[in-house]
Amino acid sequence: MSEVVTVTIDGRQVEVPAGELLIKAAQDRGTYIPRFCWHPRMKPVGMCRMCLVELETPRGPAIVTACTTPVSDGMVVHTRNETVQRVQEGVLEFLLINHPLDCPVCDRGGECPLQDHVMAYGPGESRFVEEKRHFEKPIPISDLVLLDRERCILCARCTRFSEEISGDPLIEFTDRGNGVHIATFPDLPFSSYFSGNTVQICPVGALTATAYRFRARPWDLTAVESTCLQCTAGDRISIQASQNEVLRILGVDVEPTNQGWLSDRCRFGFQYLGSPERLATPLLRDATGDHVEASWSEALAVAATRIGDVLQRSGGQAVAVLGGARLTNEDAYALSKFARVVLGTNHVDAQMDDGLDPQFLAATVDRARIGDLETAKAILVWGPDLKEEHPTLYLRVRRAAQELGAKLVVVHPRRTGLDDRATHKLTYRPGEGADLLTELVAGTGRAAEAREALAEGPVVGLVGRAGYGEDPRLAEAVAAFVRTLPDGKVLPLARRANVYGALDMGLAPTLLPGRVSVAGEGADAIAEAWGGLPDHPGLDARGILEAAAAGDIEVLILVGADPVRDVPDGDLARRALETVPFVVAIDQFLTDSSRVADVVFCADGFAEKEGTVTNLEGRVQKVNRIVPGPGQTRPDWSILDDLARRLGVELGLTSAEAIAKEIAEVAPAYRGVTWERLDWEARDGIVVPEEGHAPLRYVPADTPGARHGGDLVLHLARVMYDDGVLARHSPALAGLAPGGAVFLHPDDATRLGLGSAEQARVVTEHGEATLPLRMDDTLHRGVVYVPFNQPGVPPLGPGPGVTVTPA
C-alpha cells in the first residue's frame, strides 16, 4: 500500500506513493497541473484534456492526461515544456470557442477555474471567427439549480456526481459530438437532495443556484469555516457572507465527515437567518394576551418573578426544560447547569420523544466512527432512511457499498434511498421488528441470506428508529446484535442538530455533562463543582409533556423547541402547553409552541455565535460566527446567566469560550477539549472521549421492546423537507416539502376498498386527516406510511394503531 516510487517532475525528483494519479502526486509535491474535469472525490474521466503532460517513454515522448496516469517508478514527466504549453493552450482555445465570455454577469466570475486557467495557461486571443454554439440561456433544471449550457465546458463533474456519488442520475449528457449538452428529462427535474454540490463543483458558471444567483461577487464575500447543524453528521462547511448577511454555504472537503459534499438542506437551509420573521426583541403578553415587544430587563424580571414563585412554592419538580438540541455545547452546558443548579430539576430533555435512550446515544460501547465505513466489509442499516434524515451519511454508506465493495443490508418498512446498492433488503411492519431481528440473529427464514452477508467483519451497524411507530428499544437490540458480529461497531442514530452535544452536556434526565450518569461515577464531582444537584428522578420529553398535560408542571421552558410540531404525538404537546400555567421560550421564531409562551426571549442563531458542537460519532468541532443576530438577540448562555442572577444564583458564565474551559474541566468526556486546539491543530475535530476520559460505558440492552400488531400499523417517518420552522422560513426550501400523503401497498388498498381512490381518511388515536392516497408496492404489507410534519397535516402520531377508509 504505502510503497513509494521516485518520479521526476520538471527535472525535480520527488517521492510519491506508488499508483497514485500523477495529477495528485504532482500537486502534493508542489506542481499544480491545470484541470477541469478531474475531481479528487470522483473517478477520472480524462475528458477535458487540460491536464495533458508529456511523459518520457522508451518509444519517445508521449502525451498523456495526468488525471488518468498512475505514477510508476522512474517516470519522467514534463508539465510545462513547450509541447505541453502548446497543447494546454490549444485545449483552452478549444474550450473558449463556444464559451460566451459573459463573465461580467456570471456568478462564477472572479472564482472561475476557466477564467483562472485562461489567465495562467491560455492563448492571448481567439482565432475562431465562426458562429458560436447557441442554447437558450439559463433554464431551471430544478427549484434550486439553473443551467446555462453555453457556459458549460462538458467536464461531466455534475453528471458523474449524480451517478457516482448521490445515486440519482437525473442530469446527463445528451446528443453527441459538438451538440453534446447537459439535460434533464422533460418534466422530470433534477430534484436531487444533493443538487447543490453540482453547483459547487462546476468549473464554470454553467450551474448556478437560484438562492445565490446575482447576490454577490466573490471578492465581496467574507468566509468562515464552521460545522453544519442540519443533521448530526457534523459536516464541515464554509459560511460566506457579505454586509452582515449570510449568502451561501459551501462544503469543505474533510476526510472524517462529509468529504466535501452537502445536502441541499444544509447548503440552502440558512436563509431563515435573514428572515423578517426572526425575533429581534423579547416578547411579553399584554393584558389582552397578545405578544408585545419588551425590553430585556422587563422580560427577564417577569420570568424571574414567576419562576421564583413556583420554585418557592412547588420546588424544581414542578419545572421542566424541553429542547436544547440546536444549541452549541457551551449553551447546552449553560442550560444544563441552569436547570440543575437554578431550577433544581432533572426534568430536562433535548430529545423530543423521537430518539433513543440518551445513554445509548451518548456512550454506547463499541461506537463506530463514520470513517469505519471506509474499511467495513459489511454494513447493516436498520433505522431511518439515511437519505432522508442523514443525507451525508447516506453518501458515505453508498460509497462504501458502491465503490469500496462493502456488503450492505438495509432493514426498513419500505423503500429507502440505499436499496439500489443493498446486497439484501428486508422490510417489516413496525412493531414486529423483534421477530425479524430474531430471524436475523439466528440466520433463518427470510433473513438467512442477509445474515450471511454480515458474516465477515469489520461490520458497522447504523441503528436508529425507522419511524415513530417503532419502539426505541429495538434499535438497542439491533446494536446488541451488531456487537456480536466480527469486529462489530455501532453508530446509534439521532437526527436533530447538536443533539449529541446536548446529551453530552447533560440535557437528558439521566445524564450530566461529560457522559456522566446522574447516579453514576463522576456525578459527585459535578455536584461538587456546581454546588449540588437535584435528587429527584427526571422525566424525559414524553414524561414532561404527560405531566404537564396532567397539571403537574407549573413552569415549562422551551429552548429552541417546538414540541407541537416536533414530537410524534403533537396532540399531547398541544394539551401540555395549554395546561402549563407559565411557559418561557428561548427561540429565533414564534413557533406553534412558542406562540403560547408567556415570555419569549430572542436568541442568536447559527452563524451568529461561536462555540463547539458534537456529531454522531462524538466528534467535537467548532461552529463560528460571521454575522450578528438581528436586533437585540443574545446568546442563550447569556440569557440564562442573567435569568439565574435575577433568581439569586451566580452561574459564573462570562463568555462562550470561558464556558468551554469550564466544560473541559467539569465534563469528564470533554477533558482537555479546548477552542485553541480545535481552531488550530484539530480542525477536523476531536472525537471524545479521548484516551482515559470515559466515565460511562453504556452496554446496549438486548430487549427489543413491545410487540404490537393489529391489521394496519402506522409508519410515521421524516423526509428531507418538512414543515419545520427553520425550513419554513428558508425560501429556497420552503416549497420543497412534498406535502401530506398516505402510502399503502396496492394489495392493502384493494383489500380496504381503496383501489382507485385518490384520497383516504386516516384515523389514529391522536388525530385524523384526509390525505392524498399513493400506491407504494415497496411497503411491507399492512403498513400505512405517512411522512411526518408536512404542511397542513394535523398531528397523527405516533401510532401504531391506524385505520384507513375511503374519504
Partner 1 sequence: MTTQLRVITRRMTEHPADSHTLARYEATGGYRQARRAVGMTRDELVELTKESGLLGRGGAAFPAGLKWSFLAPARPAYLVVNADESEPGTFKDRQLLERDPHQLVEGIIIAAVANEVHHAFVYVRGEYPKPARRLQRAVDEAYASGYLGEGIFGSDYDLEVTVHLGAGAYICGEETALINSLEGRRGEPRLKPPYFPAAKGLYMMPTIVNNVETISNLPHILEMGPDAYKALGHEEDTGSFLFSISGHVNRPGNYELPHGLTWRELIFEVAGGIRDGHELKTWIPGGASAPWFVPGDHLDLPITKNDTGKAGSMLGSGAVVVMDETTCVVRAAERIVRFFAHESCGQCTPCREGTTWLEMILRRIESGAGREVDVDLLLEVGGNISVGLAWPPRMTTICPLGPSAVSPIISITKYFKDELLAHIHGGGCPFEGGER
Partner 2 sequence: MGIYPAGAMSRWSPETRERARSILARYPEKRSAVMPLLYLAAAEEGYLTDEGMAEVAEWVGLTPAQVQSVASFYTMYKREPTGRYLVSCCTSISCMLLGADEVLAAVEDEAGVPAGETDEDGVITVEHVECIGACGGAPAVQVNYELIEGVTPDTARELVRWLRSAAPDSVRADEMQELFGTRRSFDWAIAEHAGAVGPYPAFEPYGTTDGHP
What does the binding site for partner 2 look like in residue numbers (CB under 8 A)? Answer: 168-176, 183-188, 415, 419-420, 777-778
Name the minimum Å distance from CB 171 to partner 2: 6
Mark the segment that binds partner 1 (CB under 8 A) among 88-96, 188-196, 336-344, 442-450: 88-96
Q: Alpha helix locations (H) across 667-713? A: 675-679
- Burial code of 526-558, b = ≥16 C-beta within 10 A, e = fewer? bbeebeebbeeebbbbbbbbbbbbeebbbbbbb
Q: Which is nearer to partner 1, 75 or 545 (CB)?
A: 75
Q: Which residues contact 455 (CB under 8 A, 6 or more apart)?
A: 378, 485, 486
Q: Which does 48 bind (CB under 5 to 8 A by kind): partner 2, partner 1, none?
A: partner 1
Name the minimum Å distance from CB 81 to partner 1: 12
Q: What 3-state DSSP class applies to 261?
A: coil
Phi, psi (degrees; rounded to nearest 5) at 511? -125, 150
Q: Which is nearer to partner 1, 98 or 359 (CB)?
A: 98
Q: Which does 419 bind (CB under 5 to 8 A by kind): partner 2, partner 1, none?
A: partner 2
Q: Across-strand partners of 559?
A: 323, 586
Q: Which does 527 bind (CB under 5 to 8 A by kind): partner 1, partner 2, none?
A: none
Among 75, 91, 303, 736, binds partner 1 (CB under 8 A): 91
| 90 part of the interface to partner 1, by CB under 8 A | yes
Name the minimum Å distance from CB 233 to partner 1: 31
Q: Which is nearer to partner 2, 73 or 420 (CB)?
A: 420
Q: Which residues contact 724 (CB under 8 A, 6 or more apart)?
A: 562, 565, 566, 789
Q: Which does 95 bind (CB under 5 to 8 A by kind): partner 1, partner 2, none?
A: partner 1
| 135 part of the interface to partner 1, by CB under 8 A | no
Q: Which does 214 bind (CB under 5 to 8 A by kind): partner 1, partner 2, none?
A: none
DSSP 8-state symbol, 719: -
Q: Could you please report the per-residue DSSP string of 545-588?
A: HHHHHTT--SEEEEES--HHHHSS-HHHHHHHHHH-SEEEEEES
Name the minimum Å distance from CB 464 to partner 2: 22
| 94 part of the interface to partner 1, by CB under 8 A | yes
Mark the segment that binds partner 1 (CB under 8 A) among 21-29, 93-101, 276-284, 581-589: 93-101
String of contacts with partner 1 for each residue 16-55, x by CB under 8 A: ----------------------------xxxxxxx-x---
String of contacts with partner 1 for each residue 54-73, x by CB under 8 A: -------xxx----x-x---
Name the minimum Å distance from CB 86 to partner 1: 8
**In whole angstroms, what is the distance from residue 751 CA to residue 505 CA?**
50
Q: Which is nearer to partner 1, 83 or 314 (CB)?
A: 83
**Beta-strand runs (E) in 205-277:** 207-209, 222-227, 236-242, 245-251
Q: Which of residues 148-177 bind partner 1 (CB under 8 A)?
A: 153-154, 156, 173, 175-177
Q: Which does 170 bind (CB under 5 to 8 A by kind): partner 1, partner 2, none?
A: partner 2
Q: Could you please report the per-residue DSSP string of 122-179?
A: --SS----SPPP---S-EESSSSEEE-TTT-----HHHHIIIIIIS----EEES-GGG
Helix (H) or strand (E) holding 713: strand 713-717
Other CB atoms within 10 Å distance of the CB of residue 185: 11
- Strand duo 348-349 + 236-242: pairing: unpaired
Q: Could you please report the per-residue DSSP string of 341-358?
A: III----EESS-SSS--H
**In whole angstroms, what is the distance from residue 789 CA to residue 807 CA?**
21
Mark the segment that binds partner 1 (CB under 8 A) among 83-91, 214-222, 453-461, 779-787: 83-91
| 95 part of the interface to partner 1, by CB under 8 A | yes
**In whole angstroms, what is the distance from residue 595 CA to residue 585 CA?**
9
| 125 part of the interface to partner 1, by CB under 8 A | no
Q: Which does 168 bind (CB under 5 to 8 A by kind): partner 1, partner 2, none?
A: partner 2
Q: Which is nearer to partner 2, 156 or 233 (CB)?
A: 156
Q: Which three cell numbers stand for residue 197?
A: 454540490
Q: Which does 52 bind (CB under 5 to 8 A by kind): partner 1, partner 2, none?
A: partner 1
SS3 for 490-546 is: EEECCCCCCHHHHHHCCCECCEECCCEECCCCCHHHHHHHHCCCCCCCCCCHHHHHH
Name the minimum Å distance from CB 185 to partner 1: 15
| 97 part of the interface to partner 1, by CB under 8 A | yes
Q: Across-strand partners of 272?
A: none
Name the minimum Å distance from CB 160 to partner 1: 12
Q: Which is nearer to partner 1, 184 or 730 (CB)?
A: 184
**In whole angstroms, what is the distance from residue 620 CA to residue 358 CA?**
18
Alpha carbon 50 to chain centroid, angstroms: 35
Q: Which does 238 bind (CB under 5 to 8 A by kind): partner 1, partner 2, none?
A: none
Q: Which three cell numbers stand for residue 636?
A: 442563550
Q: Which does 156 bind (CB under 5 to 8 A by kind): partner 1, partner 2, none?
A: partner 1
CB 327 within 8 A of CB 493: no
**In whole angstroms, what is the distance from residue 504 CA to residue 613 CA?**
10
Q: Which does 91 bind (CB under 5 to 8 A by kind): partner 2, partner 1, none?
A: partner 1
Q: Report the alpha-carbon angle 611-615-621, nearest 5.
A: 35
Q: Which does 7 bind (CB under 5 to 8 A by kind): partner 2, partner 1, none?
A: none
Q: Which is nearer to partner 1, 3 or 175 (CB)?
A: 175
Quick one: residue 58, left, alpha or beta (phi over 0 = left, psi -120 to 50 = alpha)? Answer: alpha
Name the minimum Å distance from CB 52 to partner 1: 6
| 348 part of the interface to partner 1, by CB under 8 A | no
CA distances from residue 718 to 315, 349, 380, 637 in whole angstroms, order as listed: 37, 20, 20, 30
Q: Which is nearer to partner 2, 130 or 175 (CB)?
A: 175
Q: Which does 127 bind (CB under 5 to 8 A by kind): partner 2, partner 1, none?
A: partner 1
| 82 part of the interface to partner 1, by CB under 8 A | no
Q: Which does 62 bind (CB under 5 to 8 A by kind): partner 1, partner 2, none?
A: partner 1
- Residues contributing to the site for partner 1 (CB under 8 A): 44-50, 52, 61-63, 68, 70, 83, 86-87, 90-91, 93-95, 97-98, 127-128, 130, 153-154, 156, 173, 175-180
